[in-house]
């Protein structure tokens, strides 16, 4: 058994995205104790930074000590008790996962199913909410499995109107498109670190409104989860009145998240969002110049997750293998009903640069040519470059 | 908001322990994708290394993507269904936590309570097992809150005799004292990375026997946890037949765990265990020469977690503050009924060296002197040195 030296990889799949040298360096700083006064100060800075990033000044924000899925699980397990009704909008893999978790929490689950690639339809969600009193409405803001963006503001407003708490999955959206907990009046909103924040996977930032906190404090039964029980977590992460030992925080991973937030605020959140939009426009122009099509309608596309349809007769996996072997470039495959039918191209965080767009298009053209598809690579790059000027 | 630079700290509390520069460097290697063929090879190496470290050649071993508590939660949530009977031996904070989790899984929980600082009494556990059919017997091998070691072999044998599955918490023991899943015939055994493995906190290695796997596969209800559901996890971590996407593995944390295992195997697991024992003897000799007493009887003491009784009239917290401020040295405080009554001194992994023993004794003598306790620091160091020769 020998030390592991990872190969060079350019990460343009659905996450993780490229992690910047600054964040990698932060990970390697010496570990200190999780009850150290200086670590407590770091925790307070991270909490404040997450409030700023989610635009959630009145929410309680913490980074959960596990991957993005932990945010989803924490939301469902803490808000739902046996017998509660939960409406889940499903328009991809992650909506389906939310419904599964709601069932494990003991809830009566009603799904509003959509074709993959479509945004969530507020009218159909409202019809489901109107049928019976509902505790939670859950949906995915940015469906990583399809690249579709849903209208979080409208859906959160519907939840409030019908007396339900909203749960918003922002794993792929945070840092790449506008996420605004206060404007949306969202109750529970969570993300991951390995998408547009460009930190390694392993943490799940989450924000809880006062209504969500009250619902959790007023539960009849214990949460069906100890590690993610907010009644316990908040006394560990709560600043005032000292901290109660709960778990041991993943110290070095939190160094990485902290540095990724420093990097993001140095650029400016709004500037980062504009950058994601520009890189998407360039990639989409190149993809279309190559004769390829995107799955999602233009007005619902996520800039950070581009779902490209595999042309007739092209071997989807062979293209990914080609770009990995020839260019050290990772692209994503399709999930579920989209398996073998799409590539998922991420432009997230540190992977959303002109260099990445140009490299990806170059590699993709080469791989398509190897499959006998005629592509004018020069025209493809020129189409992208026209958007990058 | 600025980049965080941690202060120098010498970690001799209950964990995290000092992380070696080699492990820190591994954390900072470039992130690759969690579905990358090279990452898959790394996963296979980690699984095999954990089998070797737990001595669990017939167990399924994986590192769970969350702190040590996740191992406990996974064990309880996967094995227990509503109505199952669970006997939990409680002789400290972590046994109490196991009982709490078993309740959340829906089990009927029977605790066998012990005074803190005592090992688990097999006779009393057997009496509890004999009362009614029991699904799970859970106990802590190395109680981090007290420094007591329990007899895992006897307790696992009792579980088997009475038809129960055993759950063994080895968070603090793995790598510091003998842990032997095969010899004990243990069913579920888990640990953390931030104790004797000297990697940062954030992962929980776990091993499941064939009996445990069969019990989980034969459940009537879904596990009350999605992230830690072994039916899903095993198809993500299972090598043959390809991998099914579940969560996104914490890539860089796994680099760190991998490197910590390389470092441990280079030294040799048995050599590391001998080193922990020697450092403990030296520390205990010094502590006793200083006129201090250890909480736990000599034959049940954990070498890696030394619980020192605070002498009458000494301000427990002031001593910890002194050694932190004057020596950058972190010692642990007491939990629960031991709060204010003990210091917990860790000698774990990279923190189990003669240098650490001598620094700790020097700092402790100085802090006691500052409180008006007369200590012959030279004699204290000499007593430790006599054991280090």
Among B6, B249, B259, whose Cβ lies nearest the Cβ of A38?
A: B6
pLDDT band at A244 (very low <50, low <70, confident <90, very high): confident
Kindly state whether residues B183 and B122 are assigned to the same domain: yes
Q: Is the pLDDT of residue A183 over 70?
A: yes
- Given B215, B250, B265, the domain boundary residue is B265
Q: Which residues of A20-58 are buried (b: 16+ CB within 10 A; e: fewer)?
A: bebbbebbbbbbbbbbbeebbebbebbbebbbbbbbbee
CATH number at residue B367: 3.90.1150.10
Cis peptide before B16 (omega within 30 of 0): yes
Size of interface A-B (CB pairs under 8 A): 242
Classify residue A2: in a domain, yes or no. Answer: no
Classify residue A215: in a domain, yes or no. Answer: yes
DSSP state letter for A298: G
Nearest Cα of chain A lies from the Cα of B128 at a distance, in angstroms, of 25
Kindly state whether residues A141 and A256 are assigned to the same domain: yes
Kindly state whether residues A261 and A277 are assigned to the same domain: no
Choose between A241 and A197: higher pLDDT. A197
- Rounded Cα distance between B13 and B6, Å, is 17
Q: Kindly report, residue by residue over A252-285, the tens digit of the pLDDT.
A: 999 999 999 999 999 999 999 999 999 999 999 9
What is the structure's pLDDT at B365?
A: 98
- Rounded Cα distance between A156 and B25, Å, is 44
Kindly state whether residues B285 and B214 are assigned to the same domain: no
Q: Which residues of B touch A1 (CB under 8 A)?
A: 45, 49, 261-262, 265
pTM for this predicted structure:
0.97
Mean of per-residue pLDDT scores for chain B: 97
- Please identify among residues 191-210 of chain A the ones whose CB lies closer than 8 Å to any CB of chain B: 192, 194, 200-202
User: Are the Cβ atoms of A36 and B255 closer than 8 angstroms?
Assistant: no
Kindly state whether residues A228 and A298 are assigned to the same domain: no
What is the structure's pLDDT at B235?
A: 86
Among A7, A194, A223, whose Cβ lies nearest the Cβ of B38?
A: A7
Kindly state whether residues A214 and A275 are assigned to the same domain: no
pLDDT band at A234 (very low <50, low <70, confident <90, very high): confident
Q: Is A2 on the interface with B (CB under 8 A)?
A: yes
- Rounded Cα distance between B193 and B198, Å, is 6
Nearest Cα of chain A lies from the Cα of B342 at a distance, in angstroms, of 16
Q: What is the largest CA-CA distance in chain A?
A: 67
Q: Kindly report, residue by residue over A302-334, the tens digit of the pLDDT.
A: 999 999 999 999 999 999 999 999 999 999 999
- Rounded Cα distance between B73 and B225, Å, is 9
What is the structure's pLDDT at A242?
A: 63
What percent of chain A is modeled with pLDDT above 90?
A: 96
| CB < 8 Å & 24+ apart, contacts of A289-292 | A289/A376, A289/A379, A289/A380, A289/A382, A289/A383, A289/A384, A290/A361, A290/A364, A290/A365, A290/A368, A290/A375, A290/A380, A291/A373, A291/A375
What is the structure's pLDDT at A237?
A: 86
CATH number at residue A182: 3.40.640.10
* Domain housing A368: 269-388
Kindly state whether residues B273 and B211 are assigned to the same domain: no
Q: Which residues of A touch B101 (CB under 8 A)?
A: 226
Q: Is the pLDDT of residue A35 over 80?
A: yes
Kindly state whether residues B85 and B221 are assigned to the same domain: yes
- Given A220, A239, A265, the domain boundary residue is A265
Comparing C-alpha atoms, which of A369, A53, A335, A85 is closest to residue A206?
A53
Classify residue A1: in a domain, yes or no. Answer: no
Nearest Cα of chain A lies from the Cα of B228 at a distance, in angstroms, of 10
- Rounded Cα distance between B202 and B142, Å, is 19
Mean of per-residue pLDDT scores for chain A: 97
- Rounded Cα distance between A173 and B148, Å, is 48
Residues in chain B with pLDDT values less than 50: none
All residues at 6 or more sequence positions from A191 whose CB lies less than 8 Å from its CB, including other chains = A68, A71, A170, A171, A173, A174, A175, A179, A197, A204, A205, A206
User: Are the Cβ atoms of A227 and B73 closer than 8 angstroms?
Assistant: yes
Classify residue B11: in a domain, yes or no. Answer: no
User: Are the Cβ atoms of B15 and A42 closer than 8 angstroms?
Assistant: no
Comparing C-alpha atoms, which of B160, B177, B157 is closest to residue B302?
B177
Kindly state whether residues A383 and A274 are assigned to the same domain: yes
DSSP state letter for A239: -
User: Are the Cβ atoms of A4 and B24 closer than 8 angstroms?
Assistant: no
Q: How many domains does chain A have?
A: 2
Classify residue B136: in a domain, yes or no. Answer: yes
Question: Of all helices (H) and strands (E), which one includes residue A385?
Answer: helix A377-388
Among A67, A258, A330, whose Cβ lies nearest the Cβ of B247?
A: A67
Kindly state whether residues A179 and A252 are assigned to the same domain: yes
Kindly state whether residues A26 and A97 are assigned to the same domain: yes
Classify residue A276: in a domain, yes or no. Answer: yes
Classify residue B333: in a domain, yes or no. Answer: yes
- Given B265, B286, B317, the domain boundary residue is B265
pLDDT band at A37 (very low <50, low <70, confident <90, very high): very high
Q: Is the pLDDT of residue A208 over 70?
A: yes
Three-state secondary-structure class, residue B136: strand
Phi-psi region of A359 (alpha: psi -120 to 50; beta: other; left: phi over 0): alpha
Span A24-49, average pLDDT: 96
User: Are the Cβ atoms of B330 and A33 closer than 8 angstroms?
Assistant: yes
What is the structure's pLDDT at B24?
A: 98
Q: What is the 3-state secondary structure (H, E, C) of B217-253?
A: HCCCCCCCCCCCCHHHHHHHHCCCCCCCCCCCCCHHH
Classify residue B229: in a domain, yes or no. Answer: yes
Q: Kindly report, residue by residue over A102-143, the tens digit of the pLDDT.
A: 999 999 999 999 999 999 999 999 999 999 999 999 999 999
Kindly state whether residues A252 and A211 are assigned to the same domain: yes
Nearest Cα of chain A lies from the Cα of B226 at a distance, in angstroms, of 6
All residues at 6 or more sequence positions from A214 whose CB lies less than 8 Å from its CB, including other chains = none
What is the structure's pLDDT at A82?
A: 97
What is the structure's pLDDT at A272?
A: 98
What is the structure's pLDDT at B106?
A: 97
């Amino acid at each position: 058994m020998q030390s592991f030296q990872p190969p060079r990889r350019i990460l343009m799949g659905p996450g993780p995205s490229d992690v910047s040298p600054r964040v990698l360096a932060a990970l390697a700083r010496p570990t200190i104790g999780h009850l150290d006064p200086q670590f407590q100060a770091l925790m307070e800075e991270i909490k404040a930074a997450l409030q700023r990033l989610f635009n959630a000044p009145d929410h309680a924000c913490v980074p959960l000590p596990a991957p993005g899925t932990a945010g989803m699980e924490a939301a469902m397990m803490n808000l739902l008790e046996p017998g509660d009704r939960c409406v889940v909008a499903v328009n991809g893999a992650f909506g389906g996962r939310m419904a599964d978790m709601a069932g494990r929490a003991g809830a009566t689950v009603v799904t509003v199913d959509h074709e993959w690639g479509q945004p969530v339809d507020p009218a159909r969600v409202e019809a489901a909410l109107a049928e019976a009193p509902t505790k939670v409405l859950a949906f995915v803001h940015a469906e990583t499995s399809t690249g579709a963006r849903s209208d979080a503001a409208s859906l959160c407003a519907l939840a409030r109107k019908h007396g339900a708490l909203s749960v918003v999955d922002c794993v792929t959206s945070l840092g790449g498109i506008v996420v605004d907990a206060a404007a949306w009046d969202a109750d529970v909103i969570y993300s991951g670190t390995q998408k547009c924040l460009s930190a390694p996977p392993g943490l799940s930032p989450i924000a809880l409104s006062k209504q969500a906190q009250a619902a959790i404090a007023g539960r009849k039964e214990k949460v069906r989860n100890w590690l993610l029980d907010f009644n316990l977590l908040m006394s560990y992460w709560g600043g005032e009145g000292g901290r109660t030992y709960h778990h041991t925080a993943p110290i070095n991973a939190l160094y990485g998240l902290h540095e990724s937030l420093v990097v993001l605020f140095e650029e400016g959140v709004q500037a980062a969002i504009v950058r994601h939009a520009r890189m998407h426009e360039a990639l989409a122009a190149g993809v279309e110049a190559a004769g390829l099509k995107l799955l999602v309608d233009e007005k619902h596309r996520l800039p950070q997750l581009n779902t490209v349809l595999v042309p007739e007769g092209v071997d989807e996996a062979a293209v990914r293998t080609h770009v990995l072997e020839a260019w050290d470039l990772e692209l994503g495959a399709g999930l579920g009903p989209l398996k073998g039918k799409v590539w998922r191209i991420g432009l997230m965080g540190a992977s959303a640069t002109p260099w990445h767009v140009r490299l990806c298009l170059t590699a993709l053209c080469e791989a398509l040519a190897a499959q006998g598809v005629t592509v004018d690579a020069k025209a493809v790059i020129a189409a992208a470059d026209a958007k990058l000027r």
